[in-house]
Structure 1
Amino acid sequence: MNLNNTRSGGFLKNYKSILLLLGGILAGSILGLVFGKDVEVIKPLGDIFLNLLFTAIIPLLFFTIASSIASLEKTEKLGKLFGIVIGVFLTTVLISAILMIVGVLLFPIQQDIIISKIPLEMVKTGSAGMQITQLLTANDFFELLSRKNMLALIIFSFLIGFASLHSGEKGKDFSRFLNSGNEVMKQLLHLIMKIAPIGLGAYFAYQVGIFGPQLFGAYAKPLGLYYAVCAFYFVVFFSLYAFLAGGTLGFKVFWRNNITPSLTALGTCSSIATIPANLEGAEQIKIPVHIRNMVIPLGAPLHKDGSSMSSIIKIAVIFAMFGKDFTDPSTLLMAIGITVIVSVVEGGIPNGGYIGEILAITVYGFPMEQALPAAMIIGTLVDPMATLLNANGDLVSAMLVTRIAEGKKWLSEKGAI
């Protein structure tokens, strides 16, 4: 009895934020259905939440990225192994993103409801060179503080982090400032997200009140596609990765020691919380200690196969909702680039997927106030599956890193269980 109560309490604790968000969305939907367009009176509650989120984004991004780079001193001498790890991470993230793009192309997200007739912001004009310059840089410091220049801010934050890292002892005080600012901004986002159920509930009430019950179908289609493609990736591609890492034996030992990490990822909905289970699984597979102790902890914040796939589906949904073509090659290439950035940026931030959503919306020039809530709702509903792929992918990536670093006979030589 006590064990069941503990498990029940643990489930509620781990999924509390998601359940509250879903509860807010459900309550808002009911209000929209009951009161129709009259529910517009509570729309300011949603606007207040979004405005608070917008104002926190810029400093949050800066401190998160700069502090993480400035703290890399302990790993900078790992050299070749670090390069292999990053290579494996990027490869699987790109494969997962491309697979989701293929899924969207094969099963297009047809959106009957166009949520906005507002023309897109024409931020990128001029020659290709000028567009790249405007996308990657800002011509004055204060322009970095605008969410329209988020990619430029990300690059600037990386440079600040590396500059701090190479400043040695003289830069220690600044590095501590970055770490302190990172913690403060995390807490600020945590406080803002406490009102997310009210904010998203008000937004959803307004959307349902204006567009009616058919709005639910708009979310059902992409959600079904996301879960189907992710399930395929989890079973087929993780099996392929394990086979490439260790042949038939690699396939067997991966799935034999993968149950606990998988259930932990689903049960906690956290890549960080899955680290101990992944380390234990890696030990059972006999992955060398110096590799598993690097890949698993580093993968938790940086390696996001599930998030890359959710990023693609969110972008596709937003394009559909605004009646825009998602199949243009430049659009698809940009989407892949965004998923890579998102997988790096969001890991150290609570609810970090929302930061990636804002980046995507900014780059494509959609109206933020209308596109972001829709992306946040999709992100909330796909979070369990995304976490499963994010966290569980670290274990099979550790096998791939070992195969590259130690040779093809690593598994038989170690005598994995």
Structure 2
Amino acid sequence: MSEGTRSFLRNYSSILWLMGGIAAGTIAGLWLGPDTGLLKPIGDIFINLLFMAVIPLVFFAISSAVAAVEGSSRLGRLFAVMLLVFTGTALVAAVFTLLGVYVFPVHQVVGKAGDIPVHGEVTDLGTQLTQLFTVSEFYELLSRKSMLPLIIFSLLTGFAARQAGDKGVAFRQFLLSGNEVMKQLLTYIMKLAPVGLGAYFAYQVGTVGPQLFGTYARSLGLYYVLGLLYYLIFFTLYAFIARGKEGVRLYWKNNLVPSLTAVGTCSSVASIPANLEAAARMKIPAAVRNIVVPLGATLHKEGSSISSMIKIAVVFAMFNKPLSGVDTLALALGISVVVSMVEGGIPNGGYIGELLVMSVYQFPPEALPAVMIIGTLVDPMATLLNVTGDTASAMLVGRFMRLKPEEVEAAA
């Protein structure tokens, strides 16, 4: 076996195993039909393990990342500009995808309108926002239905730990250690994904039927088309905004290696060295690229923002719920942006975003396997957008910071 083949199998082993589990589940579902209900408990166990791990995982990932940030006032301004660029580009990606969903809707319905539990409507906007972003008791943060309040609490805890100075050293170390432990726990759980999702997929095929494939095919096709358009059009636009025609030339001249690395490794973190080298060739100031590119690998995920919006549309279609209304659409855009910034520091972090979607919109657990499968199949394109979007964003940060390469290279 050649080195290239071994490298491919190593980088894509988790996807190949998962696709193998899904294929086996499909065959079992077609063969067993309604009797696939016997396999459903296997899928339920896997989903419940994810639910058990998600709360501490999100808390430690976010709070430890914030607590570890240090720097001067100039660095603080750079961070502010960087976060604005990250948020803005993720929002643009989400809006672009939402428009694409409306132009090419996911019409296939896989379920019944009565599948979504009915909850009492809250007409008071203030009460609705309060319940969305906060909880009245600490123990309520331990529920997966309180993901947004948990994220806010984690951010505040991280800021408090950072501001505590020397007295907070032990607590910051606890957060960092906890983050490593929870990442390892998720790694163990995800080893069960081929079996767990395969069993759930068998149950869906056996009970819903072949129409299930229409939703997956349509959503995957839509994602790859929108992703390719975003890759070619919007990154060109960002480079032009940053440095005009020269920026476009430098960006595409040096973007091939990071693009191939992203697709080859399917990892944003593994692509950091190639991205840093490309950023230098793009003449992005060292003081910018050395901060924006590494942090972008965890905090900036335009591909994830696009996939999050696709998943929301798919789940709404699956349960015959219209994706319309100002509040629903605004929340969908907000979720896509939050997911794009939260999931990067977590292995298989897209699943955390899917849990957030279910929590906010109050979908039943049966919705999770479908969006997890979609998230896995779009991973190569998502990684490509996530990685190459970091250098485009770094160019924008340098532009808004009004820094020139020769002014900061020596100080970097």
- TM-score tier, shorter chain, comes to over 0.9
Match of 2:203 among 206, 215, 222: 206
Whole-Å separation in 1 of the counterparts to 2:120 and 2:227: 33
One-letter amino acid of the counterpart of residue 315, structure 1: I
Q: 2:329 maps to what in 1?
A: 332
Q: 2:107 maps to what in 1?
A: 110
Whole-Å separation in 1 of the counterparts to 2:319 and 2:76: 45
Whole-Å separation in 1 of the counterparts to 2:201 and 2:80: 44
- The answer as to 2:241 corresponding to 1:244 is yes
Across the two proteins, how many residue pairs are aligned to each other? 408
Q: 1:405 maps to what in 2?
A: 401
One-letter amino acid of the counterpart of residue 62, structure 1: F
* 1:293-340 deviation line (CA, Å, top 9, x unaligned): 011001100011000000000000000011011022211100111112
Q: 2:135 maps to what in 1?
A: 138
* 1:195-224 deviation line (CA, Å, top 9, x unaligned): 000000000000111122221111111111
One-letter amino acid of the counterpart of residue 158, structure 1: L
| Aligned ranges 1:183-194 → 2 under 5 Å | 183-194=180-191
- Ranges in structure 1 where 5+ consecutive residues have no aligned partner: none
**TM-score under structure 1 normalisation?**
0.94
Contact 1:123 1:365 in 2 (8 A): no
- The answer as to 2:351 corresponding to 1:354 is yes
- The answer as to 2:379 corresponding to 1:390 is no
Q: 1:97 maps to what in 2?
A: 94
* 1:336-385 deviation line (CA, Å, top 9, x unaligned): 11112111210110000110111111101111x21111110111111111
One-letter amino acid of the counterpart of residue 281, structure 2: Q
- The answer as to 2:340 corresponding to 1:343 is yes
Contact 1:121 1:366 in 2 (8 A): no
Q: 2:4 maps to what in 1?
A: 7
One-letter amino acid of the counterpart of residue 392, structure 1: T
Q: 1:140 to 1:148 in 2, by over 3 A?
A: same
Contact 2:59 2:154 in 1 (8 A): yes
Contact 2:113 2:321 in 1 (8 A): no
SS of the residue 1:79 aligns to: helix
SS of the residue 1:133 aligns to: helix
How far residue 79 of structure 1 moved from its aligned partner, in angstroms, is: 2.1
Match of 2:223 among 223, 226, 232: 226
Q: 2:152 maps to what in 1?
A: 155
One-letter amino acid of the counterpart of residue 353, structure 2: G
Q: 1:124 to 1:346 in 2, by over 3 A?
A: farther
Whole-Å separation in 2 of the counterparts to 1:123 and 1:291: 49
Whole-Å separation in 1 of the counterparts to 2:361 and 2:134: 16
Whole-Å separation in 2 of the counterparts to 1:78 and 1:124: 45
Whole-Å separation in 2 of the counterparts to 1:181 and 1:14: 26
- The answer as to 2:288 corresponding to 1:275 is no
- Ranges in structure 2 where 5+ consecutive residues have no aligned partner: none
Q: Which moved more, 1:107-116 or 1:27-36?
A: 107-116
* 1:138-180 deviation line (CA, Å, top 9, x unaligned): 1111111011111111111111111111111111101111111
One-letter amino acid of the counterpart of residue 148, structure 2: L
Contact 1:32 1:206 in 2 (8 A): yes
- The answer as to 2:75 corresponding to 1:82 is no
Q: 1:59 to 1:75 in 2, by over 3 A?
A: farther
How far residue 111 of structure 1 moved from its aligned partner, in angstroms, is: 1.8
Q: Kindly report the root-mean-square deviation, in angstroms, between the aligned alpha carbons of the 2 structures.
A: 1.7
One-letter amino acid of the counterpart of residue 153, structure 1: L
Q: 1:377 maps to what in 2?
A: 373
Q: 1:37 to 1:332 in 2, by over 3 A?
A: same
How far residue 76 of structure 1 moved from its aligned partner, in angstroms, is: 6.7
- The answer as to 2:49 corresponding to 1:41 is no
How far residue 242 of structure 1 moved from its aligned partner, in angstroms, is: 1.2
How far residue 77 of structure 1 moved from its aligned partner, in angstroms, is: 5.3
Whole-Å separation in 1 of the counterparts to 2:16 and 2:116: 35
SS of the residue 2:107 aligns to: coil
How many percent identity over aligned positions?
A: 57
